[in-house]
Every structure is written in C-alpha cells, then in structure tokens.
Amino acid sequence: MARRGKRHDRPGPIGFLVVDKPIGWTSHDVVDAARRWLGIRRIGHLGTLDPLATGVLPLAIREATKLVPFLEGGEKVYVGTIRLGVSTDTFDGEGEVTHRHDGPLPDEAVVKEALEQFMGEIEQVPPMYSSVKKDGVPLYKLARRGEEVEREPRKITIHRIEMTHFTPPEIGIEVACTPGTYVRTLAHDLGQALGCGAHLSGLRRTQSGTFLLDQAEPPETFEAMGEARTLEDALLPADVALGFPRIQLTAAQARKIANGGDLAAADARGEWEQGPPPRPGDRLSALAPSGELLAILELRPDRKLQPLRVLGLS
C-alpha cells in the first residue's frame, strides 16, 4: 500500500504574531490556537510562559521558525507581584503552602535593600516545578511524583530590578533579565533572604527581546481576524523583528544567495551603507527583489557576506 505523502502547509507570508497570553493558557495552548486561526501547522513560540503568567508570547509563522535562534537571546522584562510571608512548593500561587510566617513582615527599606543583592550576574537554581531536565526527565514530572533532586545552579543576569509598590503582604516588582531567569525563583529567594518566605502571586511579561507589549493582541482578536481571513496581514515582518540592517538584493544576487553563495560586502546596497563601518561578525537581513526576507548574512573577515540562514519564499 502506498504511503501517504507528508502534509504540507499552504504557502503564505512569513513573520511573527505577538500574542498577549491569557492567564491559564500554556504556551502550547497558544500555538495550537494559532494553528487553527491560520490553518497551518508550522508555528513555534519564543520563550515559554507559565500558565499563571500573562503577556508577550511571540509566535514564529512558517519559515520564520528558522529565525528563532537569532531572536532567543534578547532581554526579557517582567512586572510581577510577590506575596511575603507565605512559601509554596512551586514558588507561585498554584503550589502547596510549605511555610507561613507568624511574625511581623519586613518594612519597605529592608525589602528594597534585599532586592539589591539580586542585581547583576547571579547563580539561580531552577525550581523543581520547571521544564528543566534531569537525566532526560523534566523536573516537574519528578516533582509530581514527590521527588526532589539536586539541580545545578545557572548563571543569569538581572539588569534591573525595582520595587514598584509596597502594600504588605504584597509588593510589586519590575525585572529586566536574561533568558532562562525564573522570576518564581527570584520571589522565593527574596523570601529566604528576608527570613519571612515569599512566593510569586502574579506575573506579566512586557518585553521579549525585540517584541513589546504594545505589539501584542489577545487571542480573541487574532481568532476574529482568522475568521475574517485578515490575520496574515497582521504578521510582523521577519526583517522588522530581527532588527538587522537590511540590503536589497538584485535578482542575480538573490539567486546566488538562494543557492548558498556569498556576496562581496562592497556590492551590498541598503541600510548596510548608512550605518557605522561594518565589522566581521555583523549580520544583516537580505531582501529578495519582491521585498521578502530571503536570508540572514554575516560578514566574514575577508569582507564576504556569507548566508547563515536561507528561507524559502512564498
């Protein structure tokens, strides 16, 4: 019997949707919903958000999934609420209470001073309720079986941490940090430093790399656009999301790049010429004559622009 051919998505534009993830949804829930809105399968997300968190969740559409490695390292910004005096096993409001503080809570000055110790490069131990794997098994699966294992600390960087309000037992924080930072763990560690315990009771991501909250829309908006067949018009162009200088390729240059060839930097025309002198390692977005993103190029020491990623055009 003949085997079925692999199902291919219908062709169409590439780019990104910036979803304002609702509370209670997993990141995979958002991806599944977007597949229904667009009627395609090739969609991925950048940076998991916990179900209790809301805010910026960028989705890569079609060939834009190839660009995710170029966008994953950007700064993340969160606003959150920490409840002092109560610790939980998940470090957030979903978990079982493990400790309640009976004494007075620390005052505002003490909390501010404690927050300052988390500034800069620090080591953070991932929580047991996380997708980090131990011997190939996600930690949250071990935690659900009642197991707790030793976890290796990871280096993260907190670029900025501010207390936005102080209304005990809750405080508000805003954090700018590197990818891989667990704000839940930050809340727990703050509680340990203060001696009263704490957990994260609310979290909203306002920035994920180049993607901002004012670019985001809730799922119901995108669902309505999908039904009206206007959703693809709302995609954030891939070259805009990347933020690299752009060059416009001629037809001959586009054919060469599409086949894996390189390009002399002196022949590149576009924003590349208007900025500071390019240095080896600099990257740019190469646009086909149609205006679509064709490739990401990198400048080599020999002043040649080499393709790092070539995309299929719609």
Tens-place pLDDT, residues 221-269: 999 999 999 999 999 999 999 999 999 999 999 999 999 999 999 898 8
Reference 210, options 236, 175, 245; nearest CA is 236
Q: What band does 5 get if pLDDT is binned at 50, 70 and 90?
A: very low
Percentage of the chain surpassing pLDDT 70? 92
Q: What band does 312 get if pLDDT is binned at 50, 70 and 90?
A: confident
Flag whether pLDDT at 117 surpasses 70.
Answer: yes
Q: What is the rounded average pLDDT for all residues in the chain? A: 91
Range 92-103 average pLDDT: 93
Q: Write the CATH number for 49.
A: 3.30.2350.10
Position with higher pLDDT, 48 vs 75 = 75
Least confident of 2-11, 41-50, 155-164: 2-11
Same structural domain, 63 and 143: no
230 assigned to some structural domain: yes
25 assigned to some structural domain: yes
pLDDT, position 314: 59
Q: Residue 263: which H helix or E strand, with range? A: strand 263-264
Same structural domain, 91 and 119: yes
Same structural domain, 129 and 221: no
pLDDT, position 142: 65
39 assigned to some structural domain: yes
pLDDT, position 206: 98
Reference 101, options 203, 201, 192; nearest CA is 192
Q: Could you tell me the pTM of the whole model?
A: 0.89
Catalytic entry in 9, 29, 32, 50: 50
Same structural domain, 298 and 256: yes
For residues 20 and 217, is the Cβ–Cβ distance under 8 A? yes
50 catalytic residue (yes or no):
yes
Using a 10 angstrom Cβ sphere, with 0-12 exposed, 13-18 middle and 19 or more buried, the burial of residue 270 is middle
51 assigned to some structural domain: yes
Tens-place pLDDT, residues 145-180: 676 777 788 999 999 999 999 999 999 999 999 999
At residue 114, what is the residue type? A
Tokens of 219: 């799922």
Flag whether pLDDT at 2 surpasses 80.
Answer: no
Range 72-98 average pLDDT: 94
Position with higher pLDDT, 145 vs 123 = 123
6 assigned to some structural domain: no
Same structural domain, 81 and 154: yes
- 84 Cβ neighbours under 8 A, 6+ residues apart: 101, 105, 106, 111, 168, 169, 170, 171, 191, 194, 196, 197, 198
Flag whether pLDDT at 9 surpasses 90.
Answer: no
The most confident of the ranges 10-14, 45-49, 214-218 is 214-218
Number of domains present in the structure of the chain: 3
pLDDT, position 1: 39
Of 153, 187, 205, the residue that ends a domain is 205
Range 111-135 average pLDDT: 86
Range of the domain at 33: 15-73+211-239
- 97 Cβ neighbours under 8 A, 6+ residues apart: 86, 87, 88
10 assigned to some structural domain: no
